[in-house]
């Protein structure tokens, strides 16, 4: 007998043992919501033992012995059983990998029906069947009917490895999944590939049109993550965000803080935005395991104004019961008798939207409106930094307040750059002075901009202003901590950064402006380094190319003496003048840094 045959026999024997009830392992890898910086769900990964310790070897052996169905179902049930036994009441979503041929089998719906999922202590709404790319979909009508059946029971579908294998546009249109997972080949070093960035932006925009969400797989660097956030990708997983583990885990506080900082830098929202916790009201709650369907029914019947009930597990929210969804289940000829003695958690939604209380209301509004239609008008659950329940916020509250704040923001934003104006900048400075961290106020001017406007026209001048604002925004996004950029008008910008700046950061801004400004001049003027225009005296003169001058005023330590925001501009006036002189002397963008002197 050949060595190859011995290896096959060894794999078959290992598979026999695994399917006989021993050796299968389930690991959990977190999926992260990049907008809120929190764990959104987990993918359940299956592993064997010995020769089948890797997923590739396990499923290759299953295919070779024509036992793919038994193997995949055993893996799925092992993961679900693990959650039910060791982590009862676990909220969030769980992604389960399944091959198209297995999903098409009539046995699949029986093996993993809604009733089976309930027996594990989970709800179908928590389960996402992730269609793997190992094989193409050939039986389209049968597949379509299988998908419809799963969706009728409350399950959802994800398309795995989009951009690789069989997961192409044809499969996407056949499935129309709720989640599209980008293959890691699209994600790897995405910050260096403009074409892949365009593709991911297209897929993100397309997904919103079909009510789907994009998930980036295989994220391993902060540069990749920053780019994905900038492109609008809402969800991600990868070794940077969490390794596969034997239990579902949350994020480390330091990692969570960094993610939230990146999200705010990419979408700073409004300076007047309030944290969503200010709207939260703690209403009716029930402790998990202490109430049944008839108890919930009594609560809703006795109080006609009661809209929803939150289920708690030691002050951690684990479910939401809305009046509308509850009476849909309890209605009909048999509804009450069917559910009256069931635990309250079987009547709850296990994956409500849970947001940190520090999240700005306007960003909370965006997340709430991106939910699926069946949950669109559910209240939002708010938690503190430790994940403990604070209260709920209704959609009416969120929409009303976010609309008011966005109107206030629009009135103050510069129409050319879209950046916040004077009132916002003043609020940022007041906020920075009330804290106990160092901060820097960065004043930015374009030198000889008036002459450029006169020579090249206002449309080109507007284009140069927009280029400058985008460059400054992108630079601030590279900082680990939150920085905010405002536009005073014309060619004057102000940034508030809650930290001290390194010279290399300011050098990078100057270098980027010098590298990019050439596209705003004719070839002749660019090569000459000057152009003919009228100076401020109205005389024709050769004017050097536009430069950018940066004046950074540092506040290294908190002070009891608070200054009016306008006073900072006065204190920085001489620094700005000297920075502009340095730029003019070198004919290149320059910066100066000075420590604030308190009097």
Interatomic CA distance for residues 429 and 495, integer angstroms: 10
Q: Give the end of a domain, one of 403, 425, 459.
A: 403
Q: Are residues 422 and 302 in the same domain?
A: no
Q: By the 8 A CB rule, do 19 and 46 touch?
A: no
| CA 181 vs CA 214, 237, 288, 551: distances in Å | 6, 10, 33, 44
Q: Are residues 533 and 509 in the same domain?
A: yes
Interatomic CA distance for residues 338 and 330, integer angstroms: 8
Within-domain flag for 268: no
Within-domain flag for 205: yes
Q: By the 8 A CB rule, do 549 and 579 touch?
A: yes
pLDDT at 7: 46
Q: Interhelix angle for 3-19 vs 68-86, to 10°?
A: 40
Within-domain flag for 410: no
pLDDT digits (tens, 9 = 90+) for 350-386: 788 999 888 888 788 888 888 877 788 899 999 988 8
DSSP E strand boundaries for 360-433: 380-383, 389-393
Q: How many domains are there within the chain?
A: 3
The partner residues of 360 in beta bridges, in order of sequence, read: 275
> 445-461 burial, b if ≥16 CB within 10 A, otherwise e?
bbbbbbbbbebbeeeeb
Q: Are residues 169 and 70 in the same domain?
A: yes
Q: Are residues 485 and 448 in the same domain?
A: yes
Q: Are residues 576 and 448 in the same domain?
A: yes
Share of the chain above pLDDT 70, in %: 91
Q: Are residues 296 and 245 in the same domain?
A: no
pLDDT at 28: 93
Interatomic CA distance for residues 456 and 446, integer angstroms: 15
Within-domain flag for 112: yes
DSSP characters over 126-187: GEEEEE-SSS----HHHHHHHHHHHHHTT-EEEEEEETSTT-SHHHHHHH--SEEEEPHHHH
pLDDT per residue as tens, the chain (599 positions)? 444 444 444 667 777 777 777 678 889 999 999 887 888 899 999 888 777 877 778 888 888 888 888 888 888 988 888 888 877 767 788 999 998 888 888 888 888 888 899 888 888 888 999 987 656 677 778 888 888 889 889 899 998 878 665 556 777 777 889 999 998 999 999 888 878 888 888 888 888 878 889 999 999 999 899 889 888 899 999 999 999 998 888 888 888 878 877 776 565 454 446 788 888 899 899 998 899 999 999 999 999 889 999 999 889 998 999 998 888 888 766 778 888 888 888 888 878 899 988 888 878 888 888 887 778 889 999 998 888 999 999 988 888 887 776 666 666 677 778 788 887 888 888 888 877 789 999 999 999 999 998 889 888 999 999 999 989 988 887 765 568 899 988 899 999 998 888 899 999 999 999 999 999 999 999 999 999 887 767 778 899 999 999 999 998 887 767 788 778 888 888 899 999 999 999 999 999 999 887 54
Q: Are residues 555 and 431 in the same domain?
A: yes
pLDDT digits (tens, 9 = 90+) for 334-360: 778 888 888 888 888 878 899 988 888
Q: Are residues 32 and 173 in the same domain?
A: yes
Domain that holds residue 355: 276-403
**Nearest alpha carbon to residue 409 among 391, 399, 421:** 421
Name the token pair of 519. 């596209």
At 583, which helix (H) or strand (E)? helix 565-586
pLDDT at 587: 94
- DSSP code of 232? T
pLDDT at 338: 81
Interatomic CA distance for residues 190 and 199, integer angstroms: 11
Q: Are residues 111 and 190 in the same domain?
A: yes
Q: Are residues 424 and 362 in the same domain?
A: no
CATH of the domain at 372: 3.10.580.10
Interatomic CA distance for residues 100 and 150, integer angstroms: 13
Per DSSP, the three-state class of 18 is: helix
CATH of the domain at 74: 3.20.20.450
Q: Are residues 422 and 389 in the same domain?
A: no
Within-domain flag for 271: no
Q: Give the end of a domain, one of 336, 370, 403.
A: 403
pLDDT at 411: 63
CATH of the domain at 552: 3.30.70.270
Cβ atoms within 10 Å of 115's Cβ, excluding its own: 10
Q: Are residues 374 and 482 in the same domain?
A: no
Within-domain flag for 257: no
pLDDT digits (tens, 9 = 90+) for 183-205: 899 999 988 887 888 888 888 88
3-state SS track over 289-348 = CCCEHHHHHHHHHHCCCCCEEEEEECCEEEEEEEHHHHHHHHCCCCHHHHHCCCEHHHHC
Q: Give the end of a domain, one of 403, 436, 464.
A: 403
Q: How deeply is 6 buried, as exposed, middle or buried, from its count of CB atoms within 10 A (0-12, 13-18, 19+)?
A: exposed
pLDDT at 270: 46
Within-domain flag for 347: yes
Q: Interhelix angle for 361-369 vs 395-412, to 10°?
A: 120
Work out whether strand 316-322 and strand 308-313 pair parallel, antiparallel, or are unpaired: antiparallel
Within-domain flag for 224: yes
228: left (phi over 0), alpha (psi -120 to 50) or beta: alpha
């Amino acid at each position: 007998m050949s060595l190859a045959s011995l290896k096959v026999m060894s794999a078959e024997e290992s598979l026999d043992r695994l399917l006989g009830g021993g050796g299968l392992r389930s690991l959990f890898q977190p999926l992260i919501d990049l907008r809120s910086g929190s764990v959104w769900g987990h993918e359940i990964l299956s592993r064997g033992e010995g020769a089948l310790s890797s997923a590739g070897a396990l499923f290759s052996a299953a295919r070779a012995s024509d036992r793919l169905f038994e193997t995949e179902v055993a893996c799925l049930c092992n993961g679900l059983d693990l959650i039910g036994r060791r982590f009862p009441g676990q909220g969030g979503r769980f992604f389960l990998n399944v091959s198209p041929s297995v999903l098409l089998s009539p046995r699949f719906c029986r093996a993993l029906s809604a009733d089976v999922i309930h027996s594990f202590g989970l709800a179908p709404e928590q389960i996402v069947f992730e269609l793997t790319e190992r094989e193409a979909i050939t039986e389209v009508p049968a597949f379509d009917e299988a998908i419809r059946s799963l969706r009728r029971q409350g399950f959802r579908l994800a398309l795995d490895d989009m951009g690789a294998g069989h997961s192409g546009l044809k499969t996407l249109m056949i499935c129309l999944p709720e989640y599209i997972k980008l293959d890691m080949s699209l994600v790897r070093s995405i910050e260096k590939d403009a074409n892949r960035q365009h593709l991911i932006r297209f897929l993100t925009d397309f997904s919103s049109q079909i009510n789907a969400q994009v998930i980036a797989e295989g994220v391993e660097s902060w540069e990749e993550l920053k780019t994905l956030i900038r492109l609008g990708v809402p969800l991600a997983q990868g070794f940077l965000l969490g390794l596969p583990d034997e239990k579902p885990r949350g994020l480390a506080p330091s990692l969570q803080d960094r993610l939230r900082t990146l999200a705010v830098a990419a979408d700073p929202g409004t300076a007047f935005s309030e944290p969503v916790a200010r709207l939260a009201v703690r209403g009716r709650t029930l402790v998990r395991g202490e109430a049944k369907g008839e108890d919930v029914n009594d609560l809703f019947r006795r109080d006609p104004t009661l809209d929803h009930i939150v289920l708690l597990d030691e002050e951690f929210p684990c479910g939401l019961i809305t009046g509308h969804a509850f009476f849909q289940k309890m209605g009909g000829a048999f509804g009450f008798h069917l559910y009256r003695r069931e635990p309250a958690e079987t009547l709850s939604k296990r994956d409500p939207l849970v947001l940190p209380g520090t999240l700005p209301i306007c960003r909370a509004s965006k997340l709430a409106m991106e939910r699926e239609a069946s949950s669109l008008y559910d209240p939002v659950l708010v938690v503190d930094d430790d994940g403990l329940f604070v209260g709920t916020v209704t959609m009416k509250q969120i929409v009303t307040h976010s609309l008011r704040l966005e109107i206030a923001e629009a009135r103050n934003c510069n129409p050319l750059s879209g950046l916040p104006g004077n009132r916002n900048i003043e609020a940022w400075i007041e906020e920075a002075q009330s804290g106990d961290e160092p901060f820097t106020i960065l004043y930015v001017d374009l030198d000889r901009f008036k002459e450029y406007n006169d020579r090249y026209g206002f449309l080109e001048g507007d284009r140069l202003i927009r280029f400058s604002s985008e460059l400054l925004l992108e630079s601030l996004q590279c900082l680990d901590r939150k920085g905010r950029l405002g536009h005073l008008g014309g060619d004057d910008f102000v940034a508030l950064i809650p930290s001290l700046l390194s010279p290399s950061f300011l050098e990078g801004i100057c270098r980027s402006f010098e590298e990019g400004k050439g596209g705003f001049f004719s070839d002749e003027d660019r090569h000459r380094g000057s152009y003919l225009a009228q100076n401020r005296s109205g005389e024709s003169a050769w004017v050097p190319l536009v430069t950018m001058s940066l004046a950074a005023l540092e506040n290294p330590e908190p002070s009891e003496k608070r200054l009016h925001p306008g006073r900072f501009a006065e204190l920085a006036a001489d620094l700005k003048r000297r920075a502009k002189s340095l730029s003019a002397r070198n004919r290149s963008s320059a910066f100066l840094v000075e420590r604030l002197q308190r009097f």
